[in-house]
Amino acid sequence: MIVECGNCGARNRVDEGAARERQPVCGQCGAPLEVKQGASGGATKPLTVTDGTFQRDVLQAGSIPVLLDCWAAWCGPCRMIAPILEQLAAESNGRYLIAKLDVDTNPMTASRFGIQSIPTLLIFKNGALVDRMVGLQSKQAIAQRLESLRG
């Protein structure tokens, strides 16, 4: 599974079996990694993306669909959609990646993709923007869009 370092943001490949026996550490900075047991197949929580990590975390994710939630802390609909995205991340089993970008603290990426209303959900695959949803969406609608891009 892939685990993001809470200290430096580096993504680390972690063997879940080995993580049960000893504490995994970040390969870049050496900080202990927080590993959710039983989380094989991918991230169980949305990945926090910044202007600095966008290229690596989203555009270089390869053929796995990446849903990027463009949000802000003050936005009511953004807070309403957050639990849905948490559920989708927990259920992903490596089929897709859920990520979050705070538009207030990451204006370069928000500007690059013309984010004018939030929440805006951008879906990337193979480094390209392939879908966009604006406003509050149902879990079923989001899941259908993600599943249609698999394969």
Per-residue DSSP letters for 122-149?
Answer: EEEETTEEEEEEES---HHHHHHHHHHT
Residues identified as active-site: 75, 78
The label of the residue with tokens 């970040």 reads 26
126: left (phi over 0), alpha (psi -120 to 50) or beta: left
Q: Do residues 82 and 137 touch, judged by C-beta distance below 8 A? A: no
The label of the residue with tokens 């990426």 reads 109
| Calpha distance 25→99 (Å, rounded) | 22
Helix (H) or strand (E) holding 112: helix 107-112
